[in-house]
Amino acid sequence: MQKVYLDNAATTQVREEVIAKMQEALAVHYGNPSSTHSYGRSAKTAVEKARKAIAKILNAHPSEIIFTSGGTEADNMILRCAVRDLDVKTIITSKIEHHAVLHTAEELEKEYDIALHFVDLDADGNPKLDHLQKLLAQDDSKKLVSLMHVNNEIGNITDIDAIGKLCKEHGALFHSDTVQSVGHYPWNVEQTPIDFFTVAAHKFHGPKGIGFAFIRKNSGLKPMIFGGSQERGYRAGTEPFHNIVGLEEAFVKAYDHLDAEIEYVKGLKEYFLERIKKEIPAIHFNGLSGDLNKSTYTLANVRLPLDKQKGLMLLFHLDLKGIACSKGSACQSGSNMGSHVLTQILTAEELEKPSLRFSFSFYNTKEELDYTIGVLKEFAES
């Protein structure tokens, strides 16, 4: 049986170079980075080297890179600390954000009695900037806007430069979950008007359990996890040194090969769109994922012309054929609930049809896409 992995938006295959770096760290550089002896100093030097390498690529200051366990912790940290420390009284977000943002905002509304507003979306799932402007202007409360750069289910690319400009005009803070875009697109924090963003290494061929928060200098945020003075005091706890060097290696490699890998993966998506439309003409693309210019090159979310009953067996059938993809975010795969993203943009009738997210990486091939589309076509016609 052929094995095809097309769930790269959930997590990616770790690069061989990353594994080698992590093995070396585990075997040789095992000192505690907070220890003052040579073993500790060696580990501490490598942690700071990683921080500087990442900051240089982003055109950030090293002190603005705070290592976390991943995107979820970083999102929680920024939203919670902004409310607690920066006198934020209003959070503005959207109903198609990752649950790390949505559920955190909902909890903060209960705990701190803040105002929580959701910006209106257009039919494709893009936030309406005119409505965002109205929400920003409606009162004088301190506001935090949290809108993701690339949607993890439908791939829409949000204009964060325009959003950042609006936030700046109204004195609001701007946070973006950039888990699906950092490592896949060029970034320059000196040109992007943003206060905070979040990153997870396993989305760009690094290890799981490590990521970072970008926190603009002099933000005023205080620690969420208390203890030692690690991570500039923002996050106590012994640094997972092996994961940090793995993150660094994956990040540097992603940007060293960015142009070539964008061209290759974009070519895969273009091929996938053309072939699947030809083989299954009644197929639909959710959000803007069928538009190469308005969605990320890394994923496509398709709605198949199948009835609900048959659709229930689709993911199981693909798995039996060795094909890995998803119905939506991997974070909700254990839930019987449908996609909260698709619920916001599709009609009740459209939601009855099965939708699948296929996400690509440079490890994939056109032959794998041919096989996948063939399996889908056979299932649809059976």
Active site includes 331? Answer: yes
Instruction: Please tell me the distance from the alpha carbon of residue 109 to that of residue 126, in angstroms, as a whole number.
Output: 24
8: closest CA among 325, 366, 338? 325
In angstroms, what is the C-alpha Rg of the chain?
21
Query: Both tokens of residue 160?
Result: 């964060």
Query: Both tokens of residue 97?
Result: 């954000």
CA 262 to each of CA 38, 164, 268, 269, 287: distance values in angstroms, whole numbers, following the listed order: 41, 25, 10, 10, 21
Buried b (16+ CB within 10 A) or exposed e, 140-161: eeebbbbbbbbbbbbbbbbebe
33: closest CA among 47, 21, 22? 47
DSSP state of 203: G
Helix (H) or strand (E) holding 299: strand 299-303
Strand order in the sheet with 90-93: 65-68, 211-215, 196-200, 173-177, 143-146, 90-93, 115-118
The amino acid sitting at 296 is T
Helix (H) or strand (E) holding 377: helix 366-381
Say how many C-beta atoms besides its own lie within 10 A of residue 93's C-beta.
24
359: closest CA among 335, 337, 330? 330
Catalytically active residues are: 331
